[in-house]
């Protein structure tokens, strides 16, 4: 069983798609990190998806968390988004 298959099964066991799914991306607090994260999400899900974007800087200011809420149709869309978000320069953690 592939990692994607395992993740797909876990997502569908816990979530009832379609639904609003929350992505949290934590990375370097650089000038364009947030824009790169949002663009990767749009590239993965398409422009038709409304993204609710919230950010929060760490106490020390070195990192920023980007929370994306998006209405997604299925687990494949979630997995596609994670694949692209993983490639964004400066990403430290994906939740």
Overall pTM surpassing 0.85 (yes/no) = yes
Report the CATH number that the domain containing residue 21 is assigned in CATH. Answer: 3.30.70.260
Measured between alpha carbons, how far is 6 from 20 in angstroms, rounded to an integer?
21
Joined tokens for residue 29: 């607090």
Size (the chain), residues: 95
pLDDT per residue as tens digits for the range 33-64: 999 999 999 999 887 778 999 999 999 999 99
pLDDT value for 50? 85
Q: Which domain covers residue 54, as residue numbers? A: 3-94
Count: domains in the chain: 1
pLDDT value for 4? 93
């Amino acid at each position: 069983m592939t990692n994607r298959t395992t993740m797909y099964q876990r997502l569908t066991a816990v979530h009832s798609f379609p639904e609003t799914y929350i992505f949290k991306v934590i990375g370097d607090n650089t000038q364009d990190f947030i824009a790169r994260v949002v663009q990767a999400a749009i590239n993965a899900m398409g422009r038709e998806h409304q993204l609710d974007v919230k950010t929060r800087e760490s106490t020390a200011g070195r990192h920023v968390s980007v929370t994306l809420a998006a209405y997604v149709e299925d687990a494949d869309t979630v997995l596609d988004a994670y694949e692209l978000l993983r490639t964004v320069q400066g990403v430290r953690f994906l939740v």
